[in-house]
A and B are shown apart, each in its own frame.
Chain A
Amino acid sequence: MIPFDLSRWFRRRMLPLVIAAAGILLVAAPLSYHLAKRRELWQEARARAVHVGAALRGEIELRPLLWRYDMPKLTERLAAEGLLGVPRLVIHDADGVAVPLDVGPERPVRGLIWGRAEVVALGRHAATVWVGADAAPLWHGTAVLAAVFAVLAVSLGAVLYLLPMRAIGTAQRRIRVLLGQLALTLQEEDRRRIARDLHDGAGQALTAARLRLLALERRVGPGEEIADLARLLDEAIAELRRSAYALAPPALEELGLVRALERHCEAFATATGLQVQREIDPHLGRLPPTVETACYRIVQEALSNIVRHAGARRAWVRLARDSNWLRLSIHDDGRAPPAPAEGQGLPGIRERARLLGGTTSLTILPGQGLRLEVRLPVEPL
């Protein structure tokens, strides 16, 4: 009915965008924090390396040849002055040979951020100092921030995605109902046109033939053959009127659903001898024309099925509205076969209900009568 599935179309379009937006939100803040903090740690490490380098320069100038053997005292002094306090200190001499520092067992760290300083003493490059800062607090902080922003990102993604999805779902349901109503309206219009054609075409022709026959009878006098012909013509005209009436019930538009149904039930009872009990809520008010027509057609078909198949003496027709649903129920005291054959009537009922967004159900009652229940939505559009 609908050319494409709006929800699916939207999902395909929107989901990548929503995921990208949530992803950017998730990544941006922790990444910025991480980079800024990493830079800070780096600069701190560098400043310490420069500081160690300055102390080292003094040592080198004091002992140009043997300074590299006196480093444990330098590091002890720096530590005592509270200037070390870093997880890693590495010093290489000008030849790139590591200088022993005796800083004790190194405490294990998972990640290091290095800061470097070059030491120039006695007019030449004498040593390189590396200070490694522990990156664990950085990762920890980043993880905490990422967790917080993950929650935010998921919430934002859910809002960005679910709200439009819900609106689209509602819109799609409404469109489906509207299209169903449109189809039914077109169908009703078709029927009315056929009824008009029957009435104005074949009906007028038959009526004209009947009048001519009357004139003929007057001229030649009554005869058995003419009487037969007149009876056949009368039957054909009555049948045609019935058909036209069934195709386009004029009562519905004029009287409204409640009174049209009352009238139909009465007429049907008189015509067939079936007792039809009615419980029709008189305060239904006017409903969308498609819904009214559907109800009327369904009652028509259900009553005609009861007379044709049920062998029932009584039938019940109930119509009521609760909140946004119209409930129509028709049952009889006849006998239903355990598995009813499929004609055109019951599938037609189901199709009407479906087009309007409604549902149908058939139940065999304990006394073996059949109950047809139809629910139609009448939510305000």
Chain B
Amino acid sequence: MSGQGGGFLQVPGGLAVTLAAVLLGCAGDPPPPPSAPARVQNPDPSALHVGGSGAMTPLAMRLAEAWAARGGQPAVVVAESIGTGGGVRAAADGALDLGLASRPLTPEELRLGLTVLPAGRDVVVLAAHPSVPVEGLSSNELLALHRGQMRHFPDGTPAVLLLRDRAESANRALDLAVPGIRQAREEAYRERRHRVLYHDSAMAEALRATRGALGVFPLGAIVSLRLPLRILALDGVQPSLENVESGRWRMSRQLLLVARPDRLPRAAAFLRFLYSAEAAQLYRASGYLPPAAPPEGAP
């Protein structure tokens, strides 16, 4: 009698459990499997692959052109900018032979065991759309722009501040020159007050296309790519290589090259060129300061 009752109950019970298990299993994709081990990459051993910080990419292109013009081997291929962080990681993985950096390496990056070489300095400027009706700005005006308090230039042209992403090293350079700018910028990010651009190429495009636009930008890119942008003075000081050397213009960045030690021999010939007097001229002509001298231990 009771056995019958038990049997009657077991069937829907078991069915429900099975059904639940099946349904629960269905709702969701399987989680990601553990990562496969990273391999050392070596895309094309016949060329020297260079890339990284957008601040140095235009210079690297000019140098590569000059290297090609004098028949240098191996040929140098410069990649689209992927930022300093990307350049360092790609160099560590072997995807690039030389990584371009426009900021000091972080402790984690230093732990990757890369060789770090000085590669001169670049100059960070305030670049503006040609329609901007002023020759320069004061620190206070720049702060007011960040805080959204200043929306027009004196003649009524709208002022459009364009920001780079947080990790951009040009921001660090500006922080050194204008006290309080860092906080104002963080606030602007939080409140989404201004448009944010994530690459030098996108920034150049936005500066060129937007009336009243201005923002921090590398001088080297303007000069070497001949960008039709206006360069503004800050607190009465005009940005120039001389003013950087004399210390009057404070917004500049140390440029670095990073490489796996096993890739250095392949890059040796190009590096010798990079530290040559001919390259130094090219540096200046492109709006960059050349490295003082090849460092100890450089090939």
**In the bound complex, how far is the Cα of B39 from the Cα of A66, in angstroms?**
14
Give the residues from 92 to 144 in chain B that come closer than 8 angstroms, CB to CB, to chain A.
Answer: 93, 95-96
Residues of A with C-beta under 8 A to B16: 24, 27
Q: Are B9 and A16 in contact (CB under 8 A)?
A: yes
Q: Are A70 and B29 in contact (CB under 8 A)?
A: no
Flag A3-14 by CB within 8 Å of B: 1 or 0 each: 000000000110
Q: Given A13-B5, A31-B20, check contact A114 B87 (CB 8 Å).
A: no
Range, interface on chain A: 35 or more
Flag B189-208 by CB within 8 Å of A: 1 or 0 each: 10010001011000000000
B209 near A: Cβ within 8 Å? no
Q: Are A72 and B29 in contact (CB under 8 A)?
A: no
Residues of B with C-beta under 8 A to A80: 189, 192, 196
Q: Given A31-B20, A73-B198, check contact A66 B96 (CB 8 Å).
A: yes
Q: How many chain B residues have a CB neighbour from A under 8 Å?
A: 45
B30 near A: Cβ within 8 Å? yes
Contact of B5 among A17, A38, A67 (CB under 8 A): A17
Segment at the interface with A among B77-85, B147-155, B216-224, B258-266: B77-85
A24 to nearest B CB, angstroms?
8
Considering only CB atoms, which chain B residue lies closest to A35 in the complex? B23
Contact of A116 among B23, B29, B37, B93 (CB under 8 A): B29
Residues of B with C-beta under 8 A to A62: 80
Contact of B32 among A17, A69, A92 (CB under 8 A): A92
B54 to nearest A CB, angstroms?
10
Contact of B86 among A42, A66, A132 (CB under 8 A): A66
A97 near B: Cβ within 8 Å? yes
A279 near B: Cβ within 8 Å? no
B246 near A: Cβ within 8 Å? no
Q: Are B35 and A76 in contact (CB under 8 A)?
A: no
**In the bound complex, how far is the Cα of B147 from the Cα of A178, in angstroms?**
96
Residues of A with C-beta under 8 A to B24: 34-35, 38
Residues of A with C-beta under 8 A to B13: 20
Flag B20-39 by CB within 8 Å of A: 1 or 0 each: 10011001111111011111
A65 near B: Cβ within 8 Å? yes
Q: Are A65 and B43 in contact (CB under 8 A)?
A: yes
Give the residues from 33 to 57 in chain B that come closer than 8 angstroms, CB to CB, to chain A.
Answer: 33, 35-39, 43, 51
A195 near B: Cβ within 8 Å? no
Q: Given A38-B27, A113-B28, A116-B29, check contact A70 B86 (CB 8 Å).
A: yes
**In the bound complex, how far is the Cα of B203 from the Cα of A73, in angstroms?**
14
Q: Given A77-B198, A97-B39, check contact A66 B28 (CB 8 Å).
A: no
Residues of A with C-beta under 8 A to B292: none
Q: Given A16-B9, A97-B38, check contact A76 B198 (CB 8 Å).
A: yes
A63 near B: Cβ within 8 Å? yes
Q: Are A69 and B90 in contact (CB under 8 A)?
A: yes
Q: Are A73 and B196 in contact (CB under 8 A)?
A: no
Contact of B28 among A17, A42, A102 (CB under 8 A): A42
B165 near A: Cβ within 8 Å? yes
Considering only CB atoms, which chain A residue lies closest to B99 in the complex? A69
Contact of A76 among B95, B96, B166 (CB under 8 A): B166
**In the bound complex, how far is the Cα of B81 from the Cα of A73, in angstroms?**
12
9 pairs of residues in contact across A and B, judged by CB atoms under 8 Å:
A20-B12, A39-B27, A45-B29, A63-B82, A72-B83, A73-B167, A77-B198, A100-B89, A116-B32
> A65-B95, A96-B35 known; 7 other A-B pairs, CB under 8 Å?
A17-B9, A38-B28, A42-B28, A69-B89, A73-B86, A98-B32, A114-B31
